[in-house]
Structure 1
Amino acid sequence: MPPVIVLALGAMGAAALVKLLARESRRVNAELDATRREEEALRDGARPSLRRDPASGEYRPGDR
């Protein structure tokens, strides 16, 4: 194979790898941000309350 074709294939492979890594990085960061927001909400007192179900007597998450 001529060296130009090998270099072009290598450049395309590197570009695809960079694109894949960037997409995965954005996905992981979005997941981490969502987790951080949930933790902040819990720390700020937005904890879900439990309410007793009169029919079964079990405690279930309330309407908050």
Structure 2
Amino acid sequence: MKNLKLLRENKGYSKSQVSKYLGVTPETVGYMERVNRIKYKYAIVLADLYSTPLEVLYDICEIRI
């Protein structure tokens, strides 16, 4: 996986669906996908949502605490 957008699309989710799951706006999801940087609290949620090990997210984006 090269980036968060591809990971989301491969799982069949829209930005709107992911934003509701994270409790953020679709624009925020778009931003995270463009810069490939997410906060740790979102990384844990996305790993669960995408059924992906957290290590995969570490490989494709910068995770900030």
Shorter-normalised TM range: under 0.3
For the pair shown, which has the larger CA radius of gyration, 1 or 2? 1
TM-score between both structures, scaled by the size of structure 1: 0.24
> Looking at both structures, which has the greater relative contact order when contacts are Cα pairs under 8 Å and sequence separation is at least 6?
2
